[in-house]
Amino acid sequence: MNGLYCNESSQHYPSIADFKDLRPTIITNCIFNSFLTYTAIMFNVVTIYAIHKAATIAKPLKTLLLHLAFSDVAVGLFGQPLYISLLIKWLRMENPSCNAYLILSISGALFSLASSLGVVAVSIERFLAVHLHLRYQELVTHKRVVYMVISMWVYSTFVSLTTLWGLRSTRDAIGLASAAIGFILTFMFYIKIYLTVRRHKNQIQSMQIQKEAQSDEIKKFAALIKSTISIFYYHPSNVDFKELRSTIMANLIFNSFLTYTAVMLNIVTIYALHKASTIAKPLKTLLLHLAFSDVAVGLFGQPLYISLLVKWLQVETPSCDIYLMLSIYGYLCTGTSFLGMVAVSMERFLAVHLHLRYQELVTHKRVVTVVISIWVFSVLLSSITLWGPRSTRDAIGLVITAVGFILTFVFYIRIYLTVRRHKNQMQSIQIRGGAQSDAMKNFAARIKSTVGIFYVYVLFMICFLPSLISSAAIRIFGSSIVLKRFHLLSVTLIYLNSSLNPVIYCWKMRHVRHAILNILRNMFRSRNEPSR
């Protein structure tokens, strides 16, 4: 394991041949880090003492700031001295041992992950302080924050130690996912805080113009107030109906057609998948899950959206219940479809990666459990709006989307590398004139089905990304006729995905295509028999 890690480390750090060329850079880094080691320890020790003595800082915030300061002290005490010892070895033209690289990597991953999670936790705490207002002290307690800090250190230690088991790629993937989620969450929280501050500033100015006295309660609420974006940011209001009439009409006609195709094509696909005996049971179960969720879109989601479009054409404002039902059902269907796509990508990755151990580890029972979990989780997430703020549901949905995209991207990158290596093996066998084994043929068949699933994933991305872009644009730039028109079209594009998935199955998956052709042949035969 150490030898493998040493080979990987040589790609990032200088080799013996590079020492002479990099000598000035190494000397500069050595001097600079020697100075930074001292400042990192001394400044953060002083900061820890100052935070401890500051009685006016709330205990939850103080705990998180102390966590950040302690992790920075640990960097100065352990991380930087290890790096300096490595620099000195290079200056002496000595190649450090694999253990030195390994210890530096583990400590670097531990402290950097602990610090980044601490920054995210502070931004969450500040967001909750603004959002919860009077309930802040009741919900964000010192005990809960201490548990969070302990969890961050345990999680960081676990992730950093995965290198010891030869899972550096796993550690890097988890670290990348954690960093991406952290950046997205922190960015979103500070955008929310900025919008709150800006709105409150306008409120203060208007109150000053009107010369109204502000009570102590209003002054306290000024620092913690939280805005909730209305549903009308995304959908047309009474004023917009006339200008968006042509767009609403086009969406109504197109969705009326898509409702039929989504139901019929996916029912045929479900029957074809059920009849296709050559598809592995785990993959078949996940594809049936996707097809059932697409049928649900055609049976419930699109009719609700069509009723909304009809109301707008009649220049009527739909009731809040219709908006609520559409929002809940939209999240339910998109959540199950998206998580289903991630699950299929993971299943294909395991099929290609595990190879002979695939049938032993990826069982039908486990996949059924995953599918049930997806539906239960999606129901819980979509129903948050009934008892909690919509922003909470959106935040959870955004995090899941980010993690799902990152995981799927990593899976298909790994699949691509495996396929490329397998292709080279096949070519070498053909050059030597050898015959392909049954295992190699089965592996090639798995790769073909994986490519078909990849087309489904690309189509999913194309159909769903415009909706995410339009929602983000409305939140950042505010609502406008152009953005509302774009949002309406993007919603229809999401519904189009449910009708296009069966086409991809039929086009790229041979077993499904043959099953559908057999169904069509039997239908024509049954129609022709009475006429004889």
Which pLDDT band, with edges at 50, 70 and 90, does 509 fall under?
A: confident
Together in a domain, 173 and 244: no
Together in a domain, 199 and 237: no
Together in a domain, 356 and 437: yes
Contact 70, 127 (CB under 8 A): no
* pLDDT surpasses 90 at 225: no
Contact 471, 487 (CB under 8 A): yes
Residue 215 lies in a domain: no
pLDDT of residue 215: 52
| pLDDT tens column, 450-474 | 777 778 778 888 888 888 888 778 7
Contact 246, 212 (CB under 8 A): no
Q: Return the higher-pLDDT residue of 242 and 165.
A: 242
Together in a domain, 146 and 5: yes
Q: Residue 458 is part of a domain; what is its CATH number? A: 1.20.1070.10
Together in a domain, 92 and 133: yes
Q: Any residues with CB less than 8 A from the CB of 106 and at least 6 apart, and which? A: 160, 161, 163, 164
State how far the Cα of 253 lies from the Cα of 244, in Å rounded to an integer: 14
For the record, the structure tokens of 427 come out as: 């070519």
Total of domains in the chain: 2
For the record, the structure tokens of 525 come out as: 């035969």
Residue 227 lies in a domain: no
* pLDDT surpasses 80 at 530: no
Together in a domain, 241 and 321: yes
Return the half-sphere exposure (C-beta side, CA atoms, 13 A cut-off) of residue 449. 25
* pLDDT surpasses 80 at 253: yes
pLDDT of residue 372: 93
State how far the Cα of 31 lies from the Cα of 28, in Å rounded to an integer: 5
Domain that holds residue 133: 1-203
CA-angle at 343, arms to 166 and 300, nearest 5°: 160
Which pLDDT band, with edges at 50, 70 and 90, does 227 fall under?
A: very low
Stretch among 296-310, 412-426, 475-489 having the lowest mean pLDDT: 412-426
Q: Report the predicted TM-score, pTM, of the whole model to 2 decimal places.
A: 0.54
For the record, the structure tokens of 150 come out as: 């302990």
Return the half-sphere exposure (C-beta side, CA atoms, 13 A cut-off) of residue 483. 17
Q: Any residues with CB less than 8 A from the CB of 15 and at least 6 apart, and which? A: 95
Together in a domain, 339 and 469: yes
Contact 37, 80 (CB under 8 A): yes
Together in a domain, 334 and 191: no
| pLDDT tens column, 124-168 | 888 888 777 677 788 888 888 888 888 888 888 887 787 676 556
Residue 225 lies in a domain: no
Stretch among 18-22, 255-259, 303-307 having the lowest mean pLDDT: 18-22
Residue 180 lies in a domain: yes
Together in a domain, 372 and 518: yes
Together in a domain, 199 and 258: no
Together in a domain, 189 and 272: no
Q: Any residues with CB less than 8 A from the CB of 223 and at least 6 apart, and which? A: 130
User: DSSP character for 317?
Assistant: P
Average pLDDT over residues 78-96: 82
| pLDDT tens column, 374-397 | 999 888 888 877 776 667 777 787
